[in-house]
Structure 1
Amino acid sequence: MNILKVLAQRLSYALALLIAVLVLNFTMINLAPGDVVDTIAADMGGASAELMEQIHTEYGLDKPIIVQLGNYVWRVLQFDLGHSYFYNRPVTEMIFERLPATLLLVFSAQIFALILGILLGVFAAIRPNGILSHIVTLFALFGYAAPVFWTGILLLIAFSLNIPLFPVAGMRDVTIDGGFFPQALSVAHHLVLPMLSLGSIFIALYSRLCRASMLEVLGSDYIRTAKAKGLSPRDVTLKHGLKNALPPVVTLAGLQFSAVISGAVLVESVFSWPGLGQLALTSILARDTPTILGILFFSALVVIIGNLLTDLALRLIDPRIRKST
């Protein structure tokens, strides 16, 4: 019952935060100089003042910003994100077309980074002065310092051009005819390099934090007691050490979810991955405000859901949090 109460409370906070993000995004974008009419006029090679005023009226941009904000929030509450000025299509329809590709990339990179980061951190903590521990430290410094788009370009040059093991761009091979499994293998083949690029910086973060957390846990009194009772090193490390060292790593993973979403925009641009990042880049260049707002809305929604799931996961992992509620 406590879990349900906490979940209801977190959902109410999430709804309030989502509305605040919605209002803030709309206000900031509309306060920026210029609008889509300027882009349309530039594409036309110029336009008269009367024509620009007519386009403003047609798109509803001549109304006060508070009226535009009220209309936009009301439409979003009705699950209507508006119509794209550039693509001339419903924004919701375009987002749902591209959302699966972005979610596949984001969750694959996050899960890959968590698993590999935790494994490297545990092995480095078992022998803190060994060569693996120093390698993890160097890898963490390199991974954290390298921008994801730079890592992506290096991987693209190395494994797509010099050593052609993986595709250069796209999400699947359009020439493949077959059922589910051939298509899934093609997507997985195309996913490898974008996932490595996006996950590299987070592997570095998780491995360093897991190593530090494991060293702290392995030096505690109850670990020495477990060793004195004759438990095997494996049981001491996994059942007693890792379980108590995981909460900081899981917390960081939830807090870094927004960084994964923003990094996906850059990675999708490098590998031409057909997700929301590609759509966002085109919409920004075209000053397509409804599409930009829709992408920001869905990105905020994914981040809020990720943080909510992280909070629930922490309550399942750490009994002290459950008792505190």
Structure 2
Amino acid sequence: MSAFSTIGFATPVFWAGLLLIVVFSVNLRWLPSAGMSSIGGPPATSLEGLLERLRHLVLPASTLAFFYLSIYVRITRSAMLEVYGLDFVRTARAKGLSELRISLRHVLRNALLPVVTLTGLQLASLLGGSIVIETIFSWPGLGRLAFDAVFQRDVNLLLGVFLFSSLLVVLMNLLVDILYAFLDPRIAGGRT
């Protein structure tokens, strides 16, 4: 996992996207290389149209996930190693709990707090960083819309994209606060 996360973090996103296109679209011909749907394909309102759009979404989503997943693996691993050294883990072992229960119930739950924080903070960079992916895969998305609005000097459209992005970030931070209360009951009760 450490080697996978190091490779994923070190690989540029555009290069990973181009590599996935070469492997899965050109060589294997399993997935489409670009666009949101095929020309003359089924309508978007039908089940076949939805499946077609999902096929077109696999490569861009995999490219973004490859980079961000490697970050989360590294953060989770280091947080879990830190939590393993705390006193309550030693107490749980002394009580005779299994290692799986200790890992999932005690260590992972406490180690997820920095991961949840990072997820909330990276939503804005995910929206902005997706411009490269949207360009490589010819996917009409929010990042590309903002990029085109800058070059067309469409201030109203750009402000609309910023407002929508800001609302997403605020909602994500609210979700992070709710997850904090679920993961650490001390936060919900106001105790520190």
Q: 1:231 aligns with which of 84, 97, 101?
A: 97
CA offset digits 1:79-114 (Å, max 9, x no partner): xxxxxxxxxxxxxxxxxxxxxxxxxxxxxxxxxxxx
RMSD over aligned CA atoms reads 2.0
Q: Which runs of 4+ in 1 moved over 6 A?
A: none
Q: Judge conservation of contact 1:140–1:207 (CA < 8 Å) in 2.
A: yes
Partner of 2:82: 216
Percent of aligned pairs sharing the same letter: 43
Is 2:128 aligned against 1:279? no
Name the aligned partner's letter for residue 34 of structure 2.
Answer: A
Partner of 1:172: 37
Instruction: Give TM-score scaled by structure 2 length.
Output: 0.88
SS of residue matched to 1:324: coil
Is 2:181 aligned against 1:315? yes
Rounded to whole Å, the distance in 2 between the matches of 1:312 and 1:157 is 41
Q: Judge conservation of contact 2:80–2:108 (CA < 8 Å) in 1.
A: yes
Name the aligned partner's letter for residue 77 of structure 2.
Answer: R
Partner of 1:143: 8
Is 2:143 aligned against 1:288? no
Instruction: Give TM-score scaled by structure 1 length.
Output: 0.54
Name the aligned partner's letter for residue 95 of structure 2.
Answer: K
Q: 1:241 aligns with which of 77, 91, 107?
A: 107
Is 2:163 aligned against 1:297? yes
CA offset digits 1:10-50 (Å, max 9, x no partner): xxxxxxxxxxxxxxxxxxxxxxxxxxxxxxxxxxxxxxxxx
Higher-Rg member (1/2): 1
Partner of 1:324: 190
Is 2:52 aligned against 1:186? yes
Partner of 1:256: 122
Name the aligned partner's letter for residue 168 of structure 2.
Answer: V
SS of residue matched to 2:189: helix
* Cα distance, 1:207 vs structure 2: 0.4
Is 2:7 aligned against 1:157? no
Q: Go from structure 1 to structure 2 and tell me whether the alpha carbon gap of 1:317 and 1:140 turns closer, same or farther (over 3 Å shift).
A: same
Q: Judge conservation of contact 2:5–2:71 (CA < 8 Å) in 1.
A: yes
Rounded to whole Å, the distance in 2 between the matches of 1:258 and 1:147 is 19
Q: Go from structure 1 to structure 2 and tell me whether the alpha carbon gap of 1:178 and 1:187 turns closer, same or farther (over 3 Å shift).
A: closer
Rounded to whole Å, the distance in 2 between the matches of 1:249 and 1:237 is 16
- Whose RCO is larger (CA < 8 A, sep 6+)? 1
Rounded to whole Å, the distance in 1 between the matches of 2:44 and 2:178 is 40
